[in-house]
Homo-oligomer: A and B are copies of this chain.
Amino acid sequence: MSLEPPIDTEFEGTGRSARKRRAILEAATTSFLSNGYLGTSMDEIAALAHVSKQTVYKHFADKERLFVEIVTGTVNEISDPVYDEVLNLADSGDIEADLGDLARRLLEGVMQPRLLALRRLVIGEASRFPALGQTFYERGPGRTIGALAAAFERLASRGLLRLDDAELAATHFNWLIMSAPLNRAMLLGSDEAPPVAELERGAAAAVRVFLAAYGND
């Protein structure tokens, strides 16, 4: 008996079915971002992915499920690496430097053009399809703020932060970093990331405000 973990060909594999699945996801992302959620049909996605409509339905029960999969995939792809860094923050030896690094990484992640476009699409459809926004919120800001809160709790118990409510402090940190550029990008419709120097200045200023309120010195 092999002790190798089973290879999940459906999701990660290189087989024919996995290739088709990826082609469908790619085609669907293109369609959704160009034509909006309502303006995209399963027929169109099938044509663009060069598969039959039955194949699309074999992989994804309906358009909403397919969209949720795209949101989850995109948000995870961008936030997974940063998520680990957030958890590591709990053991920080130099909190000011590490918060600064983390702030820059969070900001770079959230300002990626594809994620900005997807966020705009999800917001535009949020009243009609709240499940889409719910998924985005939970996988995105909800998850980051949760991980930050856990790290801040631990930093407070190590005497490096001073706080009563770690969730609130995490919310402040998250939005101090990203609100200004994110809300500008949302409204102004620009997917071009701001210059690195500007992001760095913004991140440093956010950390300064955060530590003035929650630092322990």
Smallest CB separation, A148 vs chain B (Å): 13
A209: chain B residues within 8 A (beta carbon): 172, 209-210, 212-214
Q: Within 8 Å of chain B (Cβ to Cβ): is A159?
A: no
Q: Within 8 Å of chain B (Cβ to Cβ): is A208?
A: yes
Q: Within 8 Å of chain B (Cβ to Cβ): is A183?
A: yes
Q: Within 8 Å of chain B (Cβ to Cβ): is A120?
A: yes
Given contacts A125-B124, A175-B175, are A130 and B205 in contact (CB under 8 A)? no
Give complex CA distance A123, B171 in Å: 22
A2: chain B residues within 8 A (beta carbon): none
Interface of A is mostly: helix
Give complex CA distance A172, B134 in Å: 26
Closest to A129 in B: B189
A36: chain B residues within 8 A (beta carbon): 38, 124
Number of copies of this chain that the complex holds = 2
Closest to A130 in B: B189
Interface residues on A, range: 35 or more
Q: Within 8 Å of chain B (Cβ to Cβ): is A117?
A: yes
In the complex, chain A residues 81-124 whose Cβ is within 8 Å of any chain B Cβ:
117, 119-124
Q: What mask results when residues 28 to 40 of chain A are scored 1 for a CB within 8 Å of chain B, else 0?
A: 0000000010110
Smallest CB separation, A171 vs chain B (Å): 5
Closest to A201 in B: B168
**Quick one: which of B127, B140, B175, B213 contacts A213, CB cutoff 8 A?**
B213
Give complex CA distance A119, B183 in Å: 11
Q: Within 8 Å of chain B (Cβ to Cβ): is A136?
A: yes
* Cβ–Cβ contact A175 & B179, under 8 A: yes
Contact sample, A vs B, 22 pairs, CB 8 Å cutoff: A36-B124, A120-B126, A122-B187, A126-B186, A126-B189, A128-B189, A130-B189, A133-B187, A133-B188, A134-B187, A137-B187, A168-B205, A172-B205, A172-B209, A175-B179, A175-B183, A179-B183, A182-B183, A186-B186, A209-B209, A209-B210, A209-B214
